[in-house]
Structure 1
């Protein structure tokens, strides 16, 4: 149907109804058919491409088309590249293994060759083995012995009830008695001093037997100063054996004087029992060697005169010096 202008009567547009547009072979129906054909062809080509790609990835069959052949060739090239890398790594590892094998072979040859410098016989080897076995057993026995001595020493200290307390003059006690010190010795009754010295001597003698230490003095003296001298000399041996002070500290008079001034007898005794390190400054000066007379003289000097030895308090009742 054509539309005409009412003035000039010219045809301007052509108009069709919807039925004719959809059914007429000369209008949209032809284009629809062509569209359906193009879509079908595209789906068929897509299926072919998918099949070619699937066959090329699987590699089970030899492809016949060009695209499949190219994809198969690309896959083979990739596989060859990976294979070459693996072969190169294997070759490097084989070279490393070969070098190590040569090294092992050389070492075995050196081990099998007799050493001209050291020609051990069978008897010598057996003696060496026995010596090593005995040395190991000796080491084990030494460890057991040290452990046993430490346990017995701790039990001995617990038996004598050696403790520390808060007291300005006598901060340490043994068997419920104050451990005497030189600075405040005159403040204790004679009986308490003698009992304290006797307990200290008993402990040192038993500790020497437990620790297998040979003491220079084995019997306490009746005089207080002589008894203290023996205790100090024995303490020096204990401190040296337990490695609480260096050996030169125990053999020099200057260090002995510093030791008594800084720690006194009671603190030295307590530190030895508790296995505490004793700090002293190295004066760098050499003095005379330590012996009984030197130790006695140093203790005598700390008393500030022998007259104070007779000023021991005998009027105070002894029971006030029992501590808990």
Structure 2
């Protein structure tokens, strides 16, 4: 065909009849395809005949007589050999499994023999050992009974302790009052603290310290706890007011140091008793921070009422000089104030404008 515009020849075009009948186009390929299909059909029938004959020869014994199908005979021999190999492999697995089971049977037999020997040995245990076992069982049972009795006694003791502690609080008349400077009283006396010690007469201060130590002594005896510092010798407070008025500044400073020492020992006793009651952490704590948050009177009241007190842990243990320095700083008894006593109010003085007066009643 030629293009109607440029009259140049393009690709050839054939009709359906030429495509089907021309030997130079598709006819040759069709003939080859048909011959290949016929060959495949013939080979397929041949393979099926050989396979069928070979499968039929598996169960038959091979002989020397000629066979009509040599390929089928060869296939039958190969299949018989394959079956024999598979059967041999299966028999080997079964034989190995049987050997394993025999070993396990032998092991179990040996274990049974050992257990029987152990049972016979236990059966022939002499009477003395049996008596020892019986005594041990009896002692264990007695120990359990003793533990139960101790638990009951402990419960009774704790109950009795709580009753006595409540009675001790009522006996010493520990009260909380609506006052910022003196929020707690003990035996109708103010509970001395580091912030109010300047505002109390010396007789009241020493009376409060003496009563607090007496309460701690009785409280520790109820708890079966040994105080780190025993009740100190308190000076006679009957004529203390008269003696204070005639004392020099150096003698007043000496009294301040004595009060500071007693307050330090009082603080140590309160902290240790609170730790014994699990009211304060058993780990080292920051005493300066705790005194800043809760003064000595609050710590004493929390201990008496068995209230927990917040604390902040530290990495070191406190010594007595360190605690004394903390109390000294809280009382503002530094070396500057010690050298210039006129610049501060001493412990033996009272505030002129203090309306909450306290006295020791004889």
TM-score by length of 2: 0.51
CA distance in 2, matches of 1:246, 1:272: 13
Q: 1:292 to 1:309 in 2, by over 3 A?
A: farther
RMSD: 2.7
Choose the corresponding residue for 2:275, options 240, 247, 265: 240
Distance 1:301 1:172 in 2: 23
1:68-90 C-alpha deviation (Å, 9 max, x unpaired) = xxxxxxxxxxxxxxxxxxxxxxx
Residue of structure 1 in register with 2:328 after alignment: 300
Contact 2:173 2:188 in 1 (8 A): yes
Q: Who is 1:310 aligned against?
A: 346
Distance 1:314 1:245 in 2: 33
Structure 2 portions without partners, runs of 5+: 1-118, 123-129, 235-257, 338-343
State the Cα distance separating 1:130 from its structure 2 match.
0.4
Residue 227 of structure 1: aligned partner: 262
Distance across 1 between alignment mates of 2:217 and 2:225: 9
Structure 1 residue 264 corresponds to structure 2 residue 315? no
Which of 132, 141, 148 is equivalent to 1:136? 148
Distance of aligned partners of 1:183 and 1:211 in 2 relative to their CA distance in 1, 3 Å threshold: same
Counterpart in the other structure of 1:277:
308
Cα distance change, pair 221–303 in 1 and its aligned pair in 2 (3 A): farther
**Contact persistence 1:189–1:318 (CA under 8 A):** no
Distance 1:174 1:297, change over 3 A: same
> Is 1:286 the counterpart of 2:315 in the alignment?
yes
Give, in whole Å, the separation in 2 of the partners of 1:221 and 1:286.
35
Give the CA deviation at 1:291: 2.8
Aligned 1:169-180 pairs, distance under 5 A = 169-180=181-192
Counterpart CA distance in 2 for 1:315 and 1:236 is: 30
Q: Is the 8 Å Cα contact of residues 203 and 359 (structure 2) preserved in structure 1?
A: no
Structure 1 residue 322: Cα displacement: 5.6
CA offsets per residue over residues 24-83 of structure 1, 9 Å max, x none?
xxxxxxxxxxxxxxxxxxxxxxxxxxxxxxxxxxxxxxxxxxxxxxxxxxxxxxxxxxxx
Q: For this pair of structures, how many residues does the alignment match? A: 201
Superposed CA offset, 1:289-324 (max 9, x none)? 12322211110011122445734326889993269x
CA distance in 2, matches of 1:239, 1:149: 15
1:116-131 → structure 2 map (5 Å cutoff): 121-131=133-143
Distance 1:208 1:318 in 2: 36
Q: Is the 8 A contact 2:197 2:347 kept in 1?
A: no
Query: What's the counterpart of residue 50 of structure 1?
Result: none
For 1:218, the equivalent position in structure 2 comes to 230
Work out the CA distance in 1 between the residues paired with 2:345 and 2:265.
Answer: 17
